[in-house]
Amino acid sequence: MDSNHPPVSAGSRGRPRSSEVDRSILDATLALLAEVGVERLSIEMVAQRAGVAKTSIYRRFSNKQTLILEALEQIKPEMDTSAQGSLHEVLLEVARKFLAQMDTPLGRQMLSLLISTLAGNSDISKSYWEKHSLPKTKEIAALIAEHRQMEGLRNDVDVELAADLLVAFIMYQLLFKPPSSDVVDVLKQGIQVILDGLRSKG
């Protein structure tokens, strides 16, 4: 995201390519979300920042909500659930890969922007949850369900709630605790605590 990047000059390079216009619009949207927030952001502000006409934006995005959701697509974190092994090993690898993406100054900034934007508008939050957050939570829940028998997990465990706990634990490490060299050890311990709580006693 580079809010200081000047618009392409029609005189020097000809008409900007569609991909360049798209990039300028989305970068401007992210920059303005960070500066003024979701409620104050307007199509007019985005057009001015991106150096394009409002009609260029409306040709691509039907309204402000659609524009913001597409901008958030550019910074959404991924959770890779393709690892193999014990449930602890798989969940730890999910957490490690997520941290590898986001545990940087820029990654933390992008994650904070994502969360503040979602917290500022319930409609955008609902759409983002249904399209991105819920499917990933269900993937993690499916992993837990697949390992239920072999890991000795209780039959009454709500696997989607367990997935929520895991994601919340990872997010807490990123957003509320300072960067630490022992974060992987903390993840190992935290995942173990969660799994111990899911197992049958005796």
Number of H helices, E strands in the chain: 11, 0
| Digit-coded pLDDT (tens) for 162-183 | 999 999 998 898 888 887 778 8
1: amino acid identity, one letter: M
Tokens matching residue 65? 């909500």
* Nearest-5° Cα angle at 158, 152 to 163: 90
Say how far apart CA 127 and CA 17 lie, in whole Å: 29
Contact 50, 30 (CB under 8 A): no
pTM above 0.85, yes or no: no
Query: What pLDDT score was predicted for residue 7?
Result: 44
Least Cα distance to 28 among 57, 60, 59 occurs for 57
On the CB side of 52, CA atoms within 13 Å amount to: 28
Domains of the chain (ranges, CATH numbers): 10-73 (1.10.10.60), 87-198 (1.10.357.10)
pLDDT tier, 202 (very low <50, low <70, confident <90, very high otherwise): low
Contact 83, 98 (CB under 8 A): no
For residue 153, list its beta bridge partners. 199
- Alpha carbon of 7 to those of 47, 94, 200: distances in Å? 11, 39, 61
| Digit-coded pLDDT (tens) for 74-91 | 888 888 888 889 999 999
Least Cα distance to 87 among 133, 138, 151, 11 occurs for 151
DSSP letter at 78? -
